């Protein structure tokens, strides 16, 4: 069982990830490179995931790996909508509700068939432009979906991240 202090620490860690994972630019080629990195990571781990990258309403990258299903695509859409609405990772939004002793499902007043604050969708934020899209993984437990996206962004960015 998590404590209030655990929840506050988790929120702070997730906020730091978002501050540190701001891009200088995000092109179609960048979407391909990031998506390809995520697919490579998932293949090496034999992870049954689907990967999705969006810029605004446009889907720039999508790949479903063996073991994933159409349910993963539905989860991607629900988690992505949380990022679009809140401008923060789906996992951070969930953590903020937990830190207040609430659940997203009971307190957000959003349709759970359309929105899911579960880990795995992360905002694509560009310096000077803010959040312009999202990168989402679905198929693993939510903490692992989130961690895979963060790891891929950290690896892909290398020296190109804007450190907050």
Q: What is the mean pLDDT of the chain?
A: 92
| Distance from chain centroid for Cα 38 | 12
Q: Where are the domains of the chain?
A: 4-159
Phi, psi of 58, rounded to the nearest 5 degrees: -90, 125
Q: What is the pLDDT of residue 164?
A: 39
Average pLDDT over residues 28-33: 95
Q: Would you say domain 4-159 falls under CATH 3.30.450.20?
A: no
pLDDT category, 7, cuts 50, 70, 90? confident
Size (the chain), residues = 164
Kindly tell me if the per-residue pLDDT of 50 is higher than 80. yes
Dist CA 65 CA 39 (whole Å): 8
Orientation of helix 142-157 relative to helix 28-45, angle to 10°: 130
Kindly tell me if the per-residue pLDDT of 23 is higher than 80. yes
Tokens of 70: 């159409």
For residues 11 and 95, the answer to whether their CB atoms sit within 8 Å is yes
Average pLDDT over residues 111-115: 95
Alpha helices per DSSP H over the chain: 4-20, 28-45, 70-86, 90-99, 104-107, 142-157
């Amino acid at each position: 069982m998590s404590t209030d202090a655990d929840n506050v620490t988790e929120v702070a860690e997730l906020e730091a990830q978002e501050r540190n994972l701001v891009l200088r630019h995000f092109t179609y080629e960048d979407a391909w490179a990031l998506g390809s990195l995520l697919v490579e990571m998932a293949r090496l781990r034999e992870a049954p995931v689907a990967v999705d990258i969006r810029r605004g309403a446009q889907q720039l990258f999508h790949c479903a790996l063996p073991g994933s299903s159409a349910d993963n695509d539905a989860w991607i859409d629900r988690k992505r909508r949380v990022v679009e609405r809140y401008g923060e990772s789906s996992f951070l939004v969930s953590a903020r509700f937990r830190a207040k002793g609430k659940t997203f499902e009971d307190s957000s007043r959003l349709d759970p068939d359309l929105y899911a604050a579960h880990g795995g969708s992360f905002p694509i934020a560009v310096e000077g432009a803010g959040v312009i899209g999202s990168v989402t993984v679905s198929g693993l437990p939510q903490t692992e979906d989130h961690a895979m996206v963060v790891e891929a962004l950290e690896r892909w960015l290398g020296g190109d991240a804007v450190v907050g």
